[in-house]
Amino acid sequence: MIIKGNVHRLGKDINTDDIIAAKYLDSQDPKFLGSKCMENLDPDFASRVKEGDIIVAGKNFGCGSSREHAPWAIKGCGISLVIAESFARIFFRNCINIGLPIVELKQAKKIASGDALKVNLAKGDIFDSTKNVNFQTQSFPLFLQEIVKAGGLISWVKKVKK
């Protein structure tokens, strides 16, 4: 799995309320949630995202509640991948469940907003073509790649049962 996109840089401890405000939790429409993604941090965030872009953040991304609305908002906004120094565990699992790939990278702070990345999930290669720098992380396990390719856990289970 190869993902290419431009970076939107965020800080550390981005919680699920930062990702999608609680007032929007009555919707389960990813496109609507995406239009409100990061609204509390940056009201113009969603309008700047282009399909396929990548979020790069600091430590503890996705902390807070266990709501699936947060990864739905990120994916619905057009983000194709989230890279962070570390993730809240329930957020990590929710991303996989809805088919949004995420990668931990301790050197994430070396990547800036606007940088163009090419990420090979299978090999764990992250190439920043803006800075001509390569980063290495753990490869994304094959079974997680299959879940993401299927569009999430439920779709993957339905496909496997056939």
Q: Which strand ranges, in their side-by-side order, compose the sheet holding 133-136?
A: 102-104, 81-84, 54-57, 2-9, 116-120, 125-128, 133-136
d(CA 83, CA 58) in angstroms, rounded, equals 9
The per-residue pLDDT for 122 is 92
Look at residue 157 in the predicted model and tell me its pLDDT: 82
Burial environment of residue 43 by CB neighbours within 10 A (0 to 12, 13 to 18, 19 or more): exposed
Q: What's the CA gap between 28 and 147, in Å, rounded?
A: 20
More confident residue, 133 or 160: 133
Structural domains for the chain: 2-161 (3.20.19.10)
Please check the confidence at residue 161 and state whether its pLDDT lies above 80.
no
What pLDDT is recorded for position 1? 85
| Helices and strands: H and E segment counts in the chain | 7, 7
The model's confidence at residue 140, banded by pLDDT at 50, 70 and 90, is confident
Contact partners, residue 155, CB within 8 Å, separation at least 6: 99
pLDDT higher at 107 or 1: 107
